[in-house]
Structure formats: C-alpha cells, structure tokens
Amino acid sequence: MLKLPPLSLYIHIPWCIQKCPYCDFHSQPLKGRLPNIKYINHLLHDLEQDLQHISNNREVISIYIGGGTPSLLSNNAIQMLMDGIRTRLLLNENSEITIEINPEIIDSNRFIKYQKTGINRISIGVQSFNSKKLKSLGRTHSSKKAKEIINLVSKMNFKSFNIDLMYGLPNQSLEEAIHDLCQAIVLNPPHLSWYQLTIEANTLFNSYQPSLPDDTTLWNIYKKGNQLLTAAGYHRYEISAYAKPGYYCKHNLNYWRFGDYLGIGCSAHGKLTKPNGCIIRIVKNKYLYSFMNGKYIDTQYQLNNDDKKIEFLMNRFRLFENIPCSDFYKYTGLHETVIESQIKNAIASGYLLKVKNYWKVTKKGKLFLNSLLELFL
C-alpha cells in the first residue's frame, strides 16, 4: 500500500472588484452584494462530497484561500468557513493557512479577525508600486495604500506574509522594474513572488496587446533583480518564488512536489492519491450559477501512468531543490525503472545530474526545461 503524500486544501473565491486586463484566473466583477453565507454553505457541501476520496485521519498541512479576491468576504463568512473546515478535516497543528488580500479592501480590524480564525499567513496582491503602472494593470489600489498595508501586516505577528510583484509591465524600463523591486525589498517581506507579466488567452490584454519590454530588457531585469534578491537574503526556490530561509510557502511547495490537494469552490481543481496508487483529478464547475445550485463537479478523471510520470517531473523540475530519487515512487506509485533510460539521456545531455540518491537539474536543464521534459514524453 502506498504511503500517501501530504494533503492541502485550496478554496476559490470567484469575485473581484473589477476584472484586471491581464488576469486569466477564474473571477468576475462583483455586482451588488456578495452572497457570503450562501457561498460558504456551498463550499462546505462541496468539501463534504470530496471527503469520500480521503480517509478521515489524513491531516491537512496547508490551506490557501485564493481567487478572485477573498478579502471581499465578510468576517463572519471567513469565520464560518474556517469553523466548517475544522469540523470536517483534521488540521495539522502547524498548518499554514493563507488568505490572499487586495490592499484596497482591508484594515487592521479585519486582520485581527483573520488571526482569530487561525489564518496565519497573508498574501498581498501589490503587482507594482508605480501609480501609472497600477492604473494600466487595472488595479484599484494606490502605491501608498499598498505600503501602509504591508507595514501593518509586518507588525501583526502573522507567521509569514507574501508580496506579489510583477515585472515586464507595459512600457516598463529596466530602471522602473528595479525601482519597484527595491521598494518591495525595503519592506522586508519573508516571501516574495516576483514574476513576469505574460499575455494569456481570454484576457483583455490578449485582444488589445500593450507594448511590452523587449527580450533584452526582460533578461536584464531578471538578472539584476535576481542579484538584488540574493544579496537581500532571499532564496529562489521556484521559478518565481523567493523567500527568506524558513519561509518557503508550504502550500505551493506541496503542489510543486506533486502532493495532494482538495480544491473547493467554483472552478477549483483537486488532485488526490488513493492507497492503491490511483491518482484522480477533480475539476469543479466554473459556472457560478450551477455551482450555487449544488452542481459542484465538472469533471473527474484518473491519471494514467504516462500522466503521472510527466506531471511529477514537470512539477519537480520547476523547483530549485534536489529531488530524492525515492520520491518518484513515493508520489506516483511507479518504479524508477520506467524512467531509467530517459534519466540516462537527460544526464548525457547535461540537463540532469545524479548525486548519490538525488537528481539535480543543472543550469542548462533550467534554461532548457522544455527540452528536458520532452525527453520524458
């Protein structure tokens, strides 16, 4: 019988103040009042349906309340959600519990309420400290407000907090991007997600493409930014994730290590391993009307062995950590022999190293991640 991987819980809140032109997350502008209690009741029913796939002694190591804009939920709704989760799931005493917030709709009273519910990590969607850039991104908060909220959070004894910051913004110069990053570093967040703006399908930016920095500028921003973050004591542990030692995000690490997660709420995704090694994916209904009428599941399917293999590697190769070879069996239920010849090819091509019982992606492997993965297809 397979030892099951760690288990997390993702909760999706599908409303925002307005839709940002670059965003392809499932969310819609809030019109009128948010149906707080009704939505939380559906989330808890959705969770109950998923419980059949896990044994009741499985501990949850992390919870992530994301969206959309979860800080649009009322304090009562958050309390009801957290109470409802606790009566249905076993939380590990060190569970990391994160909520994403929009700096525009938050205050100290709200943070105190969050702490009472057990939320111990805050993720702040800042994106830029430049007012013009914020405007071009469709964000409703100001740079001043974002700094106020970051200073407030840093004094409030949360276990950790994260700032989301983007680079490669419309018409952004190297100097502007680095100035943004320096302002974030000065605020000293334990965790910083620093990622490049990309144009996604089904976004306004895809229909009306803004003028983005050229590849040379992007490369220079990345190189300089990476140096500054390293000098400030941040470890880059994933392509866009930087953290001070001891502050890696447990929830995201569990995704990237190919751990299990329940996903509840409109459009959420879950991945669960059964003791017999079978792995299922559950995709929730993206249509809010149907979700709010109790039709929670859109699709559910079982991964075949090729899916397990490639999904494990795609996730693990993103991380800047050695991969214990035994994790391949631990997380997929497949024996290492099924990838033996491809591993040899990857080593011969200079993409991978085998050191003792670990695999390590080389610099070349990181630069040519797609070529490395192609060897396993």
| CA–CA distance, 171 with 59 (Å, rounded to integer) | 47
Label residue 129 exposed, middle or buried (CB < 10 Å: 0-12, 13-18, 19+): buried
In the shown chain, the binding pattern of residues 250 to 279 toward ligand SF4, with x for contact by CB under 6 A and - for none, equals ------------------------------
Whether the CB-CB separation of 62 and 98 falls below 8 Å is answered with yes
| AA letter at 11 | I
Considering only 9, 13, 16, 124, the residue that binds ligand SF4 (CB under 6 A) is 16
Considering only 4, 9, 20, 166, the residue that binds ligand SF4 (CB under 6 A) is 20
In the shown chain, the binding pattern of residues 189 to 218 toward ligand SF4, with x for contact by CB under 6 A and - for none, equals ------------------------------
7 SS3 class: strand
Residue 128 near ligand SF4 by CB under 6 A: no
Task: For 61, list phi and psi in degrees, rounded to 5.
Answer: -90, -20
Verify cis geometry, omega within 30 degrees of 0, for the bond prior to 66: no
| Cα 65 → chain centroid | 10
Q: In residues, how long is the chain?
A: 377
| CB-nearer residue toward ligand SF4: 139 or 250 | 139
Considering only 8, 62, 69, 183, the residue that binds ligand SF4 (CB under 6 A) is 69
Task: For 343, list phi and psi in degrees, rounded to 5.
Answer: -60, -40
Name the minimum Å distance from CB 371 to ligand SF4: 31
84 SS3 class: helix
Name the minimum Å distance from CB 340 to ligand SF4: 42
Considering only 5, 6, 68, 70, the residue that binds ligand SF4 (CB under 6 A) is 68
Q: Which stretch binds ligand SF4 (CB under 6 A): 21-29, 265-273, 304-312, 333-341?
A: 21-29
Considering only 8, 10, 11, 27, the residue that binds ligand SF4 (CB under 6 A) is 27
Residue 14 near ligand SF4 by CB under 6 A: no
| Cα 343 → chain centroid | 28
| CA–CA distance, 116 with 121 (Å, rounded to integer) | 12
Residue 23 near ligand SF4 by CB under 6 A: yes
**Footprint of ligand SF4 (CB under 6 A):** 16, 19-20, 23, 25, 27, 67-69, 102, 125
